[in-house]
Amino acid sequence: MSFVNPQESASIPTYRVMDSDGVLVDKSRGRPDVSNEEVLTWYKNMLTVSIMDVVMFEAQRQGRLSFYMVSAGEEGISVGSAAALTPDDVVFAQYRETGVFQQRGFTLKNFMSQLFANVNDSGRGRNMPVHYGCDYPRTHTISSTLATQIPHASGAAYALKLQALQNPDKPPSIVTCYFGEGAASEGDFHAGLNIAATRSCPVVFICRNNGYAISTPTLEQYRGDGIASRGVGYGIETIRVDGNDIFAVYESMREARRRALEKGGKPVLIEAMSYRVSHHSTSDDSFAYRARVEVEDWKRRDNPIIRLRKWLEHEGLWNEDLERETRESIRKEVLREFGEAEREKKPPLREAFEGVYEEVTEEAREQMNELKRILETYPEEYDLRPYEGGIKGL
Ligand SMILES: Cc1ncc(C[n+]2csc(CCOP(=O)(O)OP(=O)(O)O)c2C)c(N)n1
């Protein structure tokens, strides 16, 4: 009789390409198969996310924005993984994946329009800040109701599988689904992975394990070997990677994509290890539950942006002057788009009621009339100038 004791089993190893000094871990292997131009784009995309994060976090503190969430420490996971996708690949994400949007060509104007809920927001100002989405590259709107995107992703992957059977000449595409390790405690995670495994759906699940689900550290979230061991439990090919190493993330995503399309399709799980450097969101003060020194240590020890910068410097592709000039020009651009988006009108008020059904329902029409009545009765209480058309927008 033999019980399997997980405490005695070796843990799943972590795939690395470059170390924290930006040097290849395995000197016998070749340089990553990526052009200099591409790596420079990744670096600038990570810088853009990080600079925008600082500006928008501050803007929330100044009361100019209702809410924000930063990706600090996790820019390498989102940018590196998105770099291995095609625009036809379908993305479902949680909320700390701004780099996916940046890498897929979302512009600063797109980000700012969503954050300020103005007329240029593709979501027509109906969502909380950071709930970005776009039709193409195919990227579903952020799901912050934890893990709800996971079964959706499996279902979308099943649809892609059936479409590929019907149109064998079309280049096949996959679904990629991002979530945090905290979201992996939801039932939806288990249902989503199991259905993807049993139906052999072409989906790459990518878990950002950043050590915290708001105030709950991973030590209190699970007893097993991270999230990777759960993939194995569902019969899913799995890899754990160093999320601060953009090359490791990119290479594993590229290989996962290839595997996901093998033999008619199958799921793959990537667990990317990182550390949530900032507060959970603008509504959180993480020093209430973790020591400042822990965060300072992490910042000093390792960071995906600094690691890639070191690599670029070793390669002679980057230097102090380029760093300063690039940071200055990104910051300027962010502030310019910020100002424009903040001044832009909000969508007409009636749009708060439209778009759920093809036609506005009788109940919604009654609510619109009631809103109009209140706004007209108490005009001094409501400033309608920011809304396109003012009261006529209803
Ligand atoms: C269904 C549901 N329950 C609770 C929450 C509140 N909540 C928002 S984020 C979060 C923690 C998620 O942690 P993780 O998935 O690890 O992602 P991270 O924030 O660390 O990137 C919780 C509990 C929620 N959004 N949805």
Top mutation candidate among 128, 131, 146, 286 for ligand 1, by most atoms within 8 Å of CB: 146
Residue 223: Cβ within 10 Å count: 8
Of ligand 1's listed atoms, the one at least distance from the Cα of 208 is 21
Residue that the structure tokens 């689904």 belong to: 177
Query: What pLDDT, in 10s, does the model give residues 189-230?
Result: 999 999 999 999 999 999 999 999 999 999 999 999 999 999
Query: What pLDDT, in 10s, does the model give residues 165-195?
Result: 999 999 999 999 999 999 999 999 999 999 9
Indicate which residue's Cα is closest to atom 20 of ligand 1: 213
43 Cβ inside 6 Å of ligand 1 = no
What would the mean pLDDT of 39-50 be, rounded to a whole number? 98
What amino acid occupies position 72? A
Query: Above 90 in pLDDT, residue 36?
Result: yes
**How far lies 53's CA from each of 46, 137, 218, 365, in Å?**
11, 22, 25, 39
Of ligand 1's listed atoms, the one at least distance from the Cα of 69 is 19
If you measure from the C-alpha of residue 293 to the centroid of ligand 1, how many angstroms do you get, rounded to a whole number? 24
Query: Above 90 in pLDDT, residue 301?
Result: no
Query: Above 90 in pLDDT, residue 52?
Result: yes
What would the mean pLDDT of 130-158 be, rounded to a whole number? 97
**Euclidean distance between CA atoms 5 and 284, whole angstroms:** 38
If you measure from the C-alpha of residue 93 to the centroid of ligand 1, how many angstroms do you get, rounded to a whole number? 13
| 244, 302 contact by CB (below 8 A) | yes
**Euclidean distance between CA atoms 24 and 22, whole angstroms:** 7
- The DSSP result for 2-55, as a single string, is ----GGGSPPPPEE-SB-TTS-BSSTTSPPPS--HHHHHHHHHHHHHHHHHHHH
Lowest mean pLDDT among 69-78, 217-226, 231-240, 349-358: 349-358
What is the chain's mean pLDDT, rounded? 97
211 Cβ inside 6 Å of ligand 1 = no
> What crossing angle do the helices spanning 108-115 and 36-61 adopt, rounded to 10°?
20
146 Cβ inside 6 Å of ligand 1 = yes
If you measure from the C-alpha of residue 188 to the centroid of ligand 1, how many angstroms do you get, rounded to a whole number? 13
If you measure from the C-alpha of residue 95 to the centroid of ligand 1, how many angstroms do you get, rounded to a whole number? 9
What amino acid occupies position 224? G
180 Cβ inside 6 Å of ligand 1 = yes
Q: What is the pLDDT of residue 208?
A: 98
Of ligand 1's listed atoms, the one at least distance from the Cα of 144 is 25
Q: What is the pLDDT of residue 300?
A: 85
Q: What is the pLDDT of residue 246?
A: 98
Q: What is the pLDDT of residue 331?
A: 98
Structural tokens at position 347: 């969508």
77 Cβ inside 6 Å of ligand 1 = no
Query: Above 90 in pLDDT, residue 32?
Result: yes
Query: Alpha helices, DSSP H only, in 344-379?
Result: 362-377
What would the mean pLDDT of 47-65 be, rounded to a whole number? 97
Q: What percent of the chain has pLDDT over 90?
A: 98
If you measure from the C-alpha of residue 146 to the centroid of ligand 1, how many angstroms do you get, rounded to a whole number? 5
144 Cβ inside 6 Å of ligand 1 = yes
128 Cβ inside 6 Å of ligand 1 = no
Q: How sure is the predictor about 48, in pLDDT bands with cuts at 50, 70 and 90?
A: very high
What would the mean pLDDT of 12-33 be, rounded to a whole number? 96
